[in-house]
Amino acid sequence: MWKTILRRFLILIPQLFILSVLLFLFAQAMPGDALRGRIGPDTHPDLLAELRAHHGLDQPWHVQYWRWLTALAQGDFGTSHTFQRPVTEVVGDSLANTMRLAIVATILTYLIAIPLGLLAAKFKGKIVDKAVMMYTFVALSMPTLILGLFFILVFALRLEWFPSGQAVDIIADGQGGWTRFVSQMHHVMLPAITMALLGTVSIIYFLRGEIIDNDSSDFVTTARSKGVPNNRVYTRHILRNALLPVAGNFGAIIASLFTGSLFIEVVFTYRGMGQLFVNSLQGRDYPVIFALTMFFAVVLSISFLVTDIIITILDPRIRIK
């Protein structure tokens, strides 16, 4: 198994390399460069050329690529053109906000999904089960962005329970400490609820299916015939086995929340990595775009890998060859 993990990590290197070359070629083909928007219409062409040369934008792409790669090897992601700050700082700021959103959304997802899955399985075929299944259909069919719009309309603009944008209140941010934390949580709630409500579907299906399957399995029949009380069978025998695949699903949930946050952030104007990505793209801020794309690629593959590892640890029957 360790060999597999090592191999998966090693494969990551050529994959990231190909991806970064592709990105550089895209960047070369994109109209406009990082100086766009920072120059007036009457900027002297000589000055412009000088600025380009200063940033190294006049060199062919492979020279720029090599410079970027060697800097990266030394842990330097470059400087953001737009913010004139190191990319690591710029990304770090928004990463904290995105992480908060992802964590709160994950917790909410499990908080909603596990009880619903348990209820649906326990009352299989009854009205409760049907209601839960109906909810999963609607959640499956509801694009996050559209639900986000309706939620902003109802809960932020009409009822004014939640703020409709930003990651934190400016005044509360200045006060720091507890006030800031409360404000951050208040801002993160609505997008997190939106994501959580729609992210529960796979967990509910898994849990319900596993419980129902286990319920009719031999070891449960044996336990029942030995006279183990029903509740105990349920908690000790069925649940333990049924929660395994749910835990195995964890990596996939994280991956989908990260990529999902890319879009939900734009709709909620939440200042995270998604927003940063879109803004850098519009400002042609390549160092930030590259760093973010690489980050997303690494997060995606690691979460797939983690999923596989968790499954192997939890279920010895499945062995990675």
Partner 1 sequence: MQHSIWKTMWKEICRDPLAIIGLAVFVATVATVYIWALFIPLEAMDGVFHLRLAPPDWAAGVPLGYDNIGRNVLHYLIIGARNSFNIAFMVTGGAVTIGMLFGLLAGYYGGFIDYILMRILDFFTMIPSLIIIIIVAALFNFTVVSFSVMMLLLSWPATARLMRSMTLRQGSLEYVSASKTLGTPNIVILFREVLPNLVSIITANLTITLAMNIGIETGLTMLGFGLARDVPSLGRLIEFGRTAYNMQNRLWLWVPAALMVVIMMLCVNFVGQALNRAADAKKRRA
Instruction: Check binding of 263 to partner 1 (CB under 8 A).
Output: yes
CA dist list (Å): 277 to 18, 149, 175, 272:
20, 21, 28, 9
CA dist list (Å): 201 to 106, 112, 259:
13, 10, 17
Instruction: Check binding of 138 to partner 1 (CB under 8 A).
Output: yes
**How buried is residue 27: exposed, middle or buried, by Cβ count under 10 Å (0-12/13-18/19+)?**
middle
Q: How far is the CB of 133 from partner 1 (least distance, A)?
A: 9
CB-nearer residue toward partner 1: 183 or 256: 256
Query: Distance between CA 224 and CA 14 in Å, rounded?
Result: 54
Q: How far is the CB of 293 from partner 1 (least distance, A)?
A: 6
Instruction: Check binding of 279 to partner 1 (CB under 8 A).
Output: no
**Do the beta carbons of residue 101 and residue 148 sit within 8 Å?**
no
Q: How far is the CB of 142 from partner 1 (least distance, A)?
A: 6
Instruction: Check binding of 318 to partner 1 (CB under 8 A).
Output: no
CB-nearer residue toward partner 1: 35 or 300: 300
Instruction: Check binding of 150 to partner 1 (CB under 8 A).
Output: yes
For residue 287, give the amino acid letter: P
Instruction: Check binding of 312 to partner 1 (CB under 8 A).
Output: no
Instruction: Check binding of 140 to partner 1 (CB under 8 A).
Output: yes
Please name which of 130, 138, 97 lies closest in space to residue 270, comparing C-alpha atoms. Answer: 97
Where does residue 132 fall: left (phi above 0), alpha (psi -120 to 50 degrees), or beta otherwise?
Answer: alpha
Instruction: Check binding of 57 to partner 1 (CB under 8 A).
Output: no
Among 193, 267, 288, 311, binds partner 1 (CB under 8 A): 267
Query: Distance between CA 288 and CA 61 in Å, rounded?
Result: 17
Among 2, 3, 13, 31, binds partner 1 (CB under 8 A): 31
Q: Which of residues 156-185 bind partner 1 (CB under 8 A)?
A: 157-158, 164
Q: Read off the DSSP letter of residue 283.
A: T
**How buried is residue 163: exposed, middle or buried, by Cβ count under 10 Å (0-12/13-18/19+)?**
middle
CB-nearer residue toward partner 1: 243 or 300: 300
CB-nearer residue toward partner 1: 86 or 165: 165
Binding mask of the shown chain, residues 291 to 310, with x at each position contacting partner 1 by CB under 8 A: -xx--xx--xx--x------
175-192 core/surface letters (b: 16 or more CB in 10 A; e: else): eeeeebeebbeebbbbbb
| Binding segment (CB under 8 A) for partner 1, from list 18-26, 53-61, 90-98, 181-189 | 18-26
- Look at residue 237 and give its three-state secondary structure: helix
| Residue 79 φ then ψ, to 5° | -115, 135
CB-nearer residue toward partner 1: 239 or 292: 292
CB-nearer residue toward partner 1: 234 or 277: 277
Among 114, 142, 228, 310, binds partner 1 (CB under 8 A): 142
Instruction: Check binding of 23 to partner 1 (CB under 8 A).
Output: yes
| Binding segment (CB under 8 A) for partner 1, from list 33-41, 137-145, 169-177, 184-192 | 137-145
- Look at residue 125 and give its three-state secondary structure: coil
Tokens 């849990």 belong to 207
Give the binding site for partner 1 (CB under 8 A).
11-12, 15, 18-19, 22-23, 26, 29-31, 137-138, 140-146, 149-150, 152-153, 157-158, 164, 259, 262-263, 266-267, 277-278, 281-282, 289, 292-293, 296-297, 300-301, 304
